[in-house]
């Protein structure tokens, strides 16, 4: 090369692995991608979430070393959103009205499950990962169970319940809302002649029927 002539710097061709990452929060993007895959009924994997997020296949493993770790994060996010829905509903009912709060809890559960079917599927079944492997989910679920126990105990102290078997009432209530949400997710209501626009109204009526059944007249 003649003296004094400058050479242009060579542009290195980037491989897919070296592709720059443009998202602001990779962890969040991967969680959202995994949720989208679950909502579509597709198999969820770290690599497929990376493909949906348009990042290199190796990038997600800094945050999620395995599929279980990714699905645990998705479930924990779903549980946080669920918990927020419950807290907002309970804030609208006086603390001195335990049956009103128990009703609000059940309605919040159903509305959240019906509006967020993929989240409901992830945290209510063992299809995606073993729930017991997440300490956060285990702790949060125990707190919600304890919350319903306190509501029913308070209702019993106020003489509002027909039965003193609080555990049976609690499990019956759980079975009711879980079963209703499951029927909706599995598309059962058309065969029961319940139109899509009437499902939330039906949910409220079912909850009210249950409350009437356990309340002392």
Amino acid 58: pLDDT: 80
22-62 per-position pLDDT tens digit:
456 888 899 999 988 888 888 888 889 999 888 888 888 88
**What's the CA gap between 122 and 105, in Å, rounded?**
20
- Mean pLDDT (whole number) for 123-130: 80
Task: Give the pLDDT band of residue 21 (cuts 50, 70, 90).
Answer: very low
- Domain 75-214 part of CATH 3.30.420.40: no
Asked whether residue 16 carries a pLDDT value surpassing 60, the answer given is no
Other CB atoms within 10 A of residue 197 CB: 7
Amino acid 53: pLDDT: 86
Amino acid 203: pLDDT: 97
- Average pLDDT of the chain to the nearest whole number: 87
Amino acid 24: pLDDT: 62
| Nearest alpha carbon to residue 108 among 88, 78, 80, 79 | 88
Amino acid 128: pLDDT: 76
pTM of the model: 0.81
How do the domains of the chain map onto residue ranges? 19-65, 75-214
**What's the CA gap between 78 and 17, in Å, rounded?**
31
Name the percent of the chain lying above pLDDT 90. Answer: 55
Q: In whole angstroms, how far apart are CA 127 and each of 38, 39, 44, 122?
A: 10, 13, 11, 7
69-108 per-position pLDDT tens digit:
899 899 998 899 999 999 999 999 999 999 999 999 999 9
Task: Give the pLDDT band of residue 129 (cuts 50, 70, 90).
Answer: confident
Residue 48: Cβ-neighbour burial (10 angstroms; 0-12, 13-18, 19+): middle
**What's the CA gap between 29 and 63, in Å, rounded?**
11
- Mean pLDDT (whole number) for 166-185: 97
| Nearest alpha carbon to residue 65 among 79, 80, 51, 45 | 45
Asked whether residue 119 carries a pLDDT value surpassing 80, the answer given is yes
191-208 per-position pLDDT tens digit:
999 999 999 999 999 999
Residue 40: Cβ-neighbour burial (10 angstroms; 0-12, 13-18, 19+): exposed
Amino acid 171: pLDDT: 97
Six token digits for residue 95: 């603390």
């Amino acid at each position: 090369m003649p003296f004094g002539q400058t050479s242009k710097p060579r542009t290195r061709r980037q491989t897919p692995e070296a592709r720059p990452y443009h998202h602001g929060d990779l962890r969040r993007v991967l969680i959202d991608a995994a949720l989208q895959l679950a909502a579509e009924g597709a198999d969820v994997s770290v690599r497929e979430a990376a493909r949906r997020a348009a990042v290199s296949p190796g990038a997600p493993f800094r945050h999620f070393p395995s599929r279980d770790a990714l699905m645990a994060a998705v479930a924990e996010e779903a549980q946080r959103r669920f918990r927020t829905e419950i807290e907002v509903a309970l804030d609208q009912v006086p603390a001195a009205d335990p049956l009103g709060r128990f009703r609000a809890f059940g309605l919040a559960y159903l509305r959240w499950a019906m509006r967020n079917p993929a989240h409901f599927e992830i945290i209510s079944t063992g299809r995606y990962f073993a729930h017991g492997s997440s300490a956060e989910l285990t702790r949060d679920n125990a707190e919600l169970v304890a919350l319903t126990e306190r509501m029913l105990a308070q209702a019993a102290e106020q003489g509002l319940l027909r039965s003193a078997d609080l555990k049976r009432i609690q499990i019956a209530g759980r079975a009711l809302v879980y079963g209703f949400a499951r029927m909706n997710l599995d598309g059962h209501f058309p065969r029961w002649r319940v139109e899509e626009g009437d499902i939330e109204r039906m949910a409220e009526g079912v909850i009210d029927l249950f409350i009437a059944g356990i309340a002392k007249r």
